[in-house]
Amino acid sequence: MKNLMKYFLPFAIPILVLVIPTEAFPIDNLTITEQRVIALFLLAALCWVLEPIPIYATSVLVIVLLLMMVSNKGLIFFRTGDPETLGTLVSYQDIMATFASPIIMLFLGGFFLAMAATKYRLDVNLARVLLKPFGKNPSHVMLGLMVITAIFSMFMSNTATTAMMLSILTPVLALFDKKDLGRVAFALAIPVAANIGGIGTPIGTPPNAIALKYLTGENAINFGEWMSFAVPYVVVMLALAWFLLKILFPAEKTEINLEIKSKFLKTPKAIIVYITFTVTVLLWLMGGRHGMNSYVVALIPVAVFSITSIITKEDLKTISWDVLWLVSGGIALGLALNKTGLAQNAVSAIPFGEFSPYVVIAGAATLCLLMANFMSHTATANLLMPIVAALGTSMESLLPLGGSIVLILAVTFAASLGMSLPISTPPNALANATGHVNSQQMAKVGVILGVVGVLLSFVMLFVLRQIGFI
């Protein structure tokens, strides 16, 4: 029965939406193209929630169906008809271009940096050096691990960071007494810090990059500006998480000795990696002062590491193309919503203008947090971001609070805070696989941090508004 729902609903409901007449929708003057976009949006939403197929496959399916059903080079009988009722078709080039959207390039650059850093053990070596000042006191070591995990996950994928840090931690966790709650604290500290740390930069986690896609024109935020408000937020959240874990799961062990056997590599290639990494991050932090935006800067490491064979042909194959395609699908969906005019039409059909902006922001963030706990953070952002962006631009009551940027950022931060279940994010799944944490313990920490985090993001946005940043 459950399987039937999983495989039947995601395809049956969109087909049903396709066949009912356009007049049946509560949106005035709905065109046939817009109706198809609604059906495809539902298909994407249901597939991302129920996962009858892998989530990146849903993205690819959405892009191909958009090309066939709403593009100007789609199937012939999807293109013919009265232009009045058919509506605006989307350029097929624009849809295909989502595979190489600047957002995707930004992520590709991030992947190259992370791969090179891992390959030349920059990550492990930095972890070793940075951990030293934290000594052997368990609570200090935990703080150190969390800080390092958060910093790394700002530039590497949250999953890879968690895997690396847990592999350092596992031998130590094995020495804990079975009854010592400290091991729960340690095993949870890593995924929690990775999830929170991902908020810190635009490339920290895909939802951030998706948000950037919708922060254009006067709302545009560059890499450095993002970090200027996101990093302080990450610091406060980390401190809260650290206190929470210490109180909930106090360690009985009095000393912890993390041994990392590794030395900084001094080969020419390793040095190129260190320099490229530093220069790229610096160029990102400088904002547009050198004329290049963060997307252009992101391609510098791609070129450098390819030329020098630091990233080889074989390494190329290990890039997480699934993550890139997942994001592409979301961008394509957003593009179709906008270009067909559906987003504007749908938003104007519902009297959002009458709602309190506070209710809309709180509602959108809560919905996002809920969804992110049960499904992929990226898929959540893919679905909510285009709607929220359209809503933000049409709601004049949002202007005194800072406009659509406030709404977009609130939703983006909430997307990273969904971490109460093993299925919420891959880092949680990894922590669960260690066998040191059970689901209740994870849920307790995840729910508290999720709710507090969303509230804290409201405070941050309020402060940013007060100082005139947004």
Partner 1 sequence: MEKINIICIDDQADVLNAVVKDLAELESHFIVEGCDSAADCEELLEEIDANGELLALVISDHVMPGKSGVEMLTELAADPRFQGTKKILLTGQATQKDTIHAINQANINHYFEKPWDKDALVNEAKKLVTEFIFEKGFNFQDFQGVIHSETLFKYLK
Which residues of the shown chain bind partner 1 in the complex (CB under 8 A)?
54, 118, 159-160, 162-164, 166-167, 170, 423, 426, 429-430, 433-435
- Closest approach, Cβ 197 to partner 1, in A, equals 16
Q: What is the 3-state secondary structure (H, E, C) of the chain?
A: CHHHHHHHHHHHHHHHHHHCCHHHCCCCCCCHHHHHHHHHHHHHHHHHHHCCCCHHHHHHHHHHHHHHHHECCCCHHHHCCCHHHHCCCECHHHHHHHHHCHHHHHHHHHHHHHHHHHHCCHHHHHHHHHHHHHCCCHHHHHHHHHHHHHHHHHHCCHHHHHHHHHHHHHHHHCCCCCCCCHHHHHHHHHHHHHHHHHHHCCCCCHHHHHHHHHCCHHHCCCHHHHHHHHHHHHHHHHHHHHHHHHHHCCCCCCCCCCCCCCCCCCCHHHHHHHHHHHHHHHHHHCCCCCCCCHHHHHHHHHHHHHHCCCCCHHHHHCCCHHHHHHHHHHHHHHHHHHHCCHHHHHHHHCCHHHCCHHHHHHHHHHHHHHHHHHCCHHHHHHHHHHHHHHHHHHCHHHHHHCCHHHHHHHHHHHHHCCCCCCCCCHHHHHHHHCCCCCHHHHHHHHHHHHHHHHHHHHHHHHHHHHCCCC
Q: Specify the residue, 71 or 161, whose C-beta has the smaller distance to partner 1.
A: 161
Residue placing its CB nearer to partner 1 in the complex, 85 or 170: 170
Instruction: Using the minimum distance from each CB to partner 1, give the nearer residue, 72 or 439.
Output: 439
Closest to partner 1 by CB, 112 or 233 = 112
Compute the least distance from the CB of residue 295 to partner 1, in Å.
Answer: 27
Shortest Cβ distance from residue 90 to partner 1 (Å)?
32
Q: How far is the CB of 152 from partner 1 (least distance, A)?
A: 11
For partner 1, the closer CB: 29 or 167: 167
Q: Which is nearer to partner 1, 33 or 159 (CB)?
A: 159
Nearer Cβ to partner 1, position 169 or 227?
169
- Given the complex with partner 1, which of 173 and 256 has the nearer CB atom? 173
Closest separation between CB of residue 162 and partner 1, Å? 8
Beta bridge partner(s), residue 71: 90
Closest CB 164 distance from partner 1, rounded Å: 4
Quote the least distance from Cβ 443 to partner 1, whole Å. 17
Least CB distance from residue 171 to partner 1, whole Å? 9
Q: Are 187 and 169 in contact (CB under 8 A)?
A: yes
Shortest separation between residue 263's beta carbon and partner 1, angstroms: 18
Toward partner 1, which CB reaches closer, 198 or 402?
Answer: 198
